[in-house]
Amino acid sequence: MLTMVFEKQKEKKNLILFASIFIFIYGLYFFLDWLAHGSFSALFEAMSPGLFTLHQVFNIVMAFMAALMISLSQIKLTLTSTEPLGATGIPFFSFIFGLLTFGCAPCVVAFLSAVGIAFTPIVFPMGNLLWKVILLTLMILGFIYILKSINKGVCKPKKIKD
């Protein structure tokens, strides 16, 4: 089943879906970096060019994985009428995790305290890079889980009209 899903991923409409999701999710992660510093000038001042590049590499890898998870799950949904469990939830969770940790922490603390929840994220050096490492690890585990779920294929593929 997994090879069939990857073959379908090469089709034009699926590549467009993947690219659109990738650009959107990368934009969200870049926005979280911007929120953490308040402005682009503060972002560039706070990080050296090497550290900024490293953050963007993490953003690109995480956005690629999230877009691939969503795209592959949509292809499996089209083929079998079932979606892998957690396929769209994991990318959503990754954004919420990013918002609560390496995103705009003061915004989140203010919002949650307004509804009576005490929350203080830990601030790590290097622009909270450790949070991105933790998130990337969680996404890799989720990605492996989704690939295994797609490969199991609980339903038999239906015929596709060309």
Each residue of 104-121: pLDDT tens digit? Answer: 666 667 767 777 777 666
Each residue of 41-99: pLDDT tens digit? Answer: 777 787 888 888 898 999 999 999 989 988 988 888 888 877 766 666 777 777 777 76
C-alpha 57/C-alpha 4 separation (Å) is 29
Q: Which domain holds residue 138?
A: 2-152
**Does residue 77 sit within a domain?**
yes
Return left, alpha or beta for 157; rule: phi > 0 is left, psi -120 to 50 is alpha, else beta.
beta
**Does residue 109 sit within a domain?**
yes
C-alpha 64/C-alpha 153 separation (Å) is 23
Each residue of 65-78: pLDDT tens digit? Answer: 989 988 988 888 88
Contacts of 117 (CB under 8 A, 6+ apart): none
Burial 114-123 (b: 16+ CB within 10 A, else e): eeeeeeebee
Name the domain count of the chain: 1
Answering whether pTM is above 0.85, one says no
**Does residue 162 sit within a domain?**
no
Cβ 63 vs Cβ 26: under 8 Å: yes
Cβ 108 vs Cβ 119: under 8 Å: yes
Each residue of 2-35: pLDDT tens digit? Answer: 888 889 999 999 999 999 999 999 998 888 888 7
Instruction: Please state, for a pLDDT cut of 90, what percent of the chain lies above it.
Output: 16
**Does residue 61 sit within a domain?**
yes
**Does residue 161 sit within a domain?**
no
**Does residue 158 sit within a domain?**
no
